[in-house]
Structure 1
Amino acid sequence: MTLNENCFNFPVIIASILAIIFVRYVVLKKMNRRNCPPTISGWIPWMGVGVEFGKAPLTYIECARQKHGSVFTILAAGKYLTFLTDADDFHFFFNSKNVDFQQAVQEAVQNTGKLLQLFRRVMFGAVVNNLFGEGAIPTDEEHIQQLEDIFVKFDDQFEYGSQIPDFFLRDWAACKQWLLKVFKTVQDRLQLQSSKSVSLVQQLMDIVDAKSAPNFALLLLWASQANAIPISFWVLAFLHTYPEELSKVSKELNDAFGDKQTELVVDEEIISKLPSIKRCILETIRLRSPGVITRKVVKSFDVKGYTIPVGDMLMVSPYWAHRDQRFFTDPESFKPDRWLAADLEKNFFLDGFIGFGGGRYQCPGRWFALMEIHVLITLILQKLSLKALDPLPKPSTLHVVGTQQPQLTYRVQFSKR
């Protein structure tokens, strides 16, 4: 055997180096995570339990809570996701300076059935003008169709594209960059205008750093569409499943509009006469809220005897929080009248409701979202007669980002009144 064969067995050397790196990685991670919450890390480095978690994330979260308690961590795709599931601990998420919303979302940046397609077609152009102001983005038929088509592709894979490197989803990454370029142009146009804020997006750009502004603008458009459209869908689906609630809404519509069918104007006065719709919207948001919302830990802190380290993604699940029987009796049932206990005229929600977040980073567009859904539901119910052709679909357990999507198509038959 030659000296070269004895001393330079490269496959063995490489395997040894990789083994040392792997052991060092595992040991250092364990040392850095002493006194941390129970961690479900799986056996695959970096990937962790990402595959198992991705199969049914909402179910996985609840099973982990039952097994490990109210605070636990999941390793998925290189990120440590630490969940707080006890409402008593939510103040760490919403009010603590140890966690940051902007760092959690700055990198990030399902629509099923005929009824959802109808809502998207109706809402997209109107929402763009209201968010960005008239003329900030061209909304003629050709340009708005291109923007909508690319946004739909972005939306379809947002949950996955926001969590894994762009290299794995090149089409999604291309859509993201195209949209960010559009919003960078919008930012430049708005900076040339008067310093007085005239649109919701301009107000947003006034309070975030200039570099991140296009990302936040895209995120706001995504939130206004990806959440308002399915919530509107679910409101009508619930109403046509619970005829007693539809009857209450229909009576208020008749009292507010009478026999008027043409040139309907839905203004603040009309909306104030339709409180049942608002209660239905909020109850729908409660039942179909996102699986998780997130913050990035920028300074370690303790909760329930565990240390949450810097770099973890702190997670709260509105979906499961809204099923806490301490706040919501019979939590799986659609009961809009539970919102009679809330002072909605003063914009106070029910205790335990976190559908719009909380603390320093509540959704800045929450009142706009409630208003646009209220107006849209009012116009659809007043202008169209709807008949459900399918039973109420169950929400999909596959999605944790954004409003819950239906498992199956929900068809309706509609005609003009």
Structure 2
Amino acid sequence: MLFAIFLLLITIVALLLLFCGRSRRVNEPPLEKGLVPWLGHALEFGKDAAKFLTRMKNKHGDIFTVRVAGQYITVLLDPNSYDDVLYDTVSLDFRRHRGVLMKNIFSLVLPSHNPDKERAWMEQHFQGVGLDKLQLSVDSHLRGLLMADQKGCGTAEWREVGLFDLSYGLLFRAGYLTMFTRDDNTDAVYKQFRNFDKLLPELARSTLKGKDKKSATSSQESLWQLLTPTWLEGGRNTSCWQESYQLYLGEAGVDAETQRRALLMHLWTTQCNAGPAAFWLLGLLLRHPEAMQAVLAEVRGVMQNHSLHHSAHERLVTHNTPVFDSVLRETLRLTAAAFISREVVVDGKRLNVSGGQEYCLRKGDRVFLFPFLSPQMDPEIHHEPESFKYKRFLNDDMSEKQTFYKGGSSLKYYNMPWGAGRNSCVGKQFATSTVKLFVFMVLSHLELEMCEPTDPLPRVNPQRYGFGMLQPIGDLQVRYRFKRN
């Protein structure tokens, strides 16, 4: 009995040494292990990553290492040093962490997954002729959805809605119809998608329990069924994006079950950002009348005498809209908050930080860039970074402002809503053009106002840091009616 207790104590001590014994080496970043063995700062990180990492930045500067659930993560917040991470394909790897997220969120494992080949396939659809085709399709579907809404709403009749529901609902439906081309299950897909998206951060962290876990699993399974190819045989366009993606997966040897799980992943990646971005942009315009009037002037110049029966996309591509473009960049600066993550696969990877300091990283650790904190919310780069300044990205001559500084040096990266480098978002042009198209259609054809003019914008959901566009807690109540032609 005493021998068994002795072995147990030896085991406990060994585990404590294993998980608590790491110490900072010479030339390594400042180390924060946290007070709880193994867990470290996981709870604080998951609750509000921006708040936690801001505290670490204030304490240690632009580089530090934290322990989160047994993993050591080096956070780099110096934009002048980002290229050391973004373009290193020898010492750093992005595939392994992506594979973990795919499995946790979408229950998806893609055998022999080749990200470079997949990116090349996606570029065929989200650039050049493929992009123009998608934009025209979104245009058509948005106009169709607005016309359907107009038929059920008299010209003088005000409707009260949540702005987030309005923006996300219309843009998701238009995007789904564009990518999957089936219109008889759109509402069912949207309902399940919203529930799945709400629980996604906890899915990624494997922290869902009880009813929420069952709810996420139920929505996931429903979406697999709704998106399964046999349900989409009645689609109107046999050359749609969905069929092309299935063909790509089939040629890669991916079985039918894995294909439909992959379809859900791409439904989320293509539709999760545009709706929230449009919500924040319209909300900020409603809260800042001067900015709204400046954008409305551009809307009138582009959309004068525009009918919902005719394409709006063709008008937008032939007109310069510098004020709107600045507003969109400012909105994304304030609300785009993805992580850029790499795994260290070569011991002794070196990072050069502004000021001439050099740090070494350990194999098996991860490196995080968090552009939301720096450059986007860095007061040294952007004056009063928490304030919405709609001309922030405009020069006096109305050209785009592209010169920003940190530490006396001009920055290559001063706003990074779509990432950067080899793994920047392939669909960023599609997303920005979709948001622009939606906002111009809404402001051209709808009278839109806040139900309570003094209402503030809702707070952001802090659990969404790291997962693309931020989402609000609650909604902003607005009312709208169609303008008289």
Q: TM-score range by the shorter chain?
A: 0.7 to 0.9
Aligned to 1:404: 470
Q: 1:15-30 alignment to 2 at 5 Å? A: 15-26=8-19, 30=22
* Counterpart Cα distance in 2 of 1:416 and 1:160: 39
Question: Are the counterparts in 2 of residues 71 and 85 from structure 1 also a CA contact under 8 Å?
Answer: yes
Q: Distance in 1 between matches of 2:215 and 2:441?
A: 36
Distance 1:34 1:23, change over 3 A: farther
Aligned 8 A contact 1:295 1:313 in 2: yes
- Return the offset for 1:174: 5.0
1:172 to 216, 220, 225: 216
From 300, 318, 331, the counterpart of 1:254: 300
The secondary structure found in structure 2 opposite 1:255 is helix
Report the identity percentage.
Answer: 24
Q: CA deviation at 1:209?
A: 6.6
Partner of 1:92: 84
1:339 aligns with 2:393: yes
Shift of 1:126: 1.7
| Deviation, structure 1 residue 116 | 0.9
Q: What is the CA distance between 1:200 and its match in structure 2?
A: 8.7
Is contact 2:302–2:315 with CA below 8 Å preserved after alignment?
no
Q: Aligned AA for 1:236?
A: L
What is the CA-CA distance between 1:40 and the residue it aligns to? 1.9
Structure 2 unaligned regions, length at least 5: 103-160, 353-357, 401-410
3-state secondary structure, aligned to 1:16: helix
Could you say what secondary structure the match of 1:245 adopts?
helix
Structure 1 residue 11, shift from structure 2 partner: 6.5
SS in 1 for 2:189: helix
Where do 1:149-228 residues align within 5 Å? 149-164=191-206, 169-176=213-220, 179=223, 185=229, 199=241, 202=244, 217-228=263-274
1:309 aligns with one of 350, 359, 362: 362
How far does residue 20 in structure 1 lie from its aligned partner after superposition? 3.5
Q: Partners in 2 of 1:55 and 1:165 — Cα distance?
A: 12
SS at match of 1:107: helix
Summarize the alignment of residues 6-405 of structure 1 with structure 2, pairs less than 5 Å apart.
Answer: 8-9=1-2, 12-13=5-6, 15-26=8-19, 30=22, 36-97=28-89, 98-109=91-102, 114-132=162-180, 134=181, 138-140=182-184, 143-164=185-206, 169-176=213-220, 179=223, 185=229, 199=241, 202=244, 217-273=263-319, 275=321, 276-290=323-337, 292-300=339-347, 301-304=349-352, 305-321=358-374, 322-340=376-394, 351-388=413-450, 389=452, 390-400=455-465, 401-405=467-471
Conserved 8 A contact 1:57-1:397: yes
Q: Aligned pair count?
A: 391
Q: Secondary structure of the residue that 2:100 maps to in structure 1?
A: coil
- Cα distance in 2 for residues equivalent to 1:201 and 1:351: 37
Which residue type is aligned with residue 128 of structure 1?
Y
TM-score (structure 2 length as normaliser):
0.70
Q: Secondary structure of the equivalent of 2:330?
A: helix
What's the secondary structure of 1:336's corresponding residue? coil
CA distance in 2, matches of 1:178, 1:294: 30
Superposed CA RMSD in Å reads: 3.6
Instruction: Using the TM superposition, give the Cα deviation of residue 220 of structure 1 relative to its aligned residue in structure 2, in angstroms.
Output: 3.8
Paired letter, 1:392: L
Q: Any stretches of 5+ residues in structure 1 without a counterpart? A: 1-7
Name the SS for the 1:334 alignment partner: coil
Q: CA deviation at 1:177?
A: 5.5
**Per-residue deviation at 1:309?**
2.2
Letter in 2 for 1:51: L
SS of residue in 1 equivalent to 2:418: coil
Q: Does structure 2 retain, via aligned residues, the 8 Å contact 1:271–1:374?
A: no
**For residues 166 and 331 of structure 1, do their structure 2 counterparts lie closer, same or farther at Cα, with a shift above 3 Å needed?**
closer
